Amino acid sequence: TAGITQAPTSQILAAGRSMTLRCTQDMRHNAMYWYRQDLGLGLRLIHYSNTAGTTGKGEVPDGYSVSRANTDDFPLTLASAVPSQTSVYFCASSAGVFSYNEQFFGPGTRLTVL
C-alpha cells in the first residue's frame, strides 16, 4: 500500500515564482493536512481539510492555498514564493476529522526558495 505520496521530493525555487506541492492518499481518509517543519519549531499546521470540498486554515496559512476537489488529492500552492517559505513540507491524512485520530504522513517535500 502506497499510503501517502508527495511530489516533488525536493525543489529549488526562485523567489516570486509559484509552485504546487502535490499530495495523494490511497486510504480513502476523510481528513488531510499540510504541515511545515522547521528546525526547533516542530510541525506547524498550514491548512487542513475535513472532507472533500472543504478546507480550513491552520496555524501558519499566509502565503499558501489549498484545494480539495476529491478525497484523494490535496495540493498546496505557493502563489509567490518567499525565502521564509524554505522548509520541509509534510502532507498527512487521518480517517476521522478530530485530532484524536492517528495521522499518516507522506515522505515530505524539501523546498528551498532563493
Q: Which position among 26, 56, 84, 114 is part of the footprint of another protein (CB under 8 A)? A: 56
Determine if 100 is a binding residue for another protein (CB under 8 A): yes
Instruction: Tell me if 42 contacts another protein by CB under 8 A.
Output: yes
State yes or no: residue 90 binds another protein (CB under 8 A): yes
Quote the longest CA-to-CA distance of the chain: 38
Given candidates 7, 13, 27, 45, which one binds another protein under the rule CB under 8 A?
Answer: 45
Residues in the chain: 114
Using the Cα atoms of residue 9, residue 61, residue 53 and residue 31 in order, give the sign of their dihedral: positive
- Between 20 and 110, name the residue whose CB sits nearer to another protein: 110
User: By CB under 8 A, is residue 53 in contact with another protein?
Assistant: no
Q: Can you give 36-93 as a three-state secondary structure string?
A: EEECCCEEEEEEEEEECCEEEECCCCCCEEECCCCCCECCEEECCCCHHHCEEEEEEE
Query: Applying CB under 8 A, which residues contact another protein?
Result: 4, 31, 40-45, 48, 50, 56, 58-59, 90, 92, 97-100, 102-103, 105-108
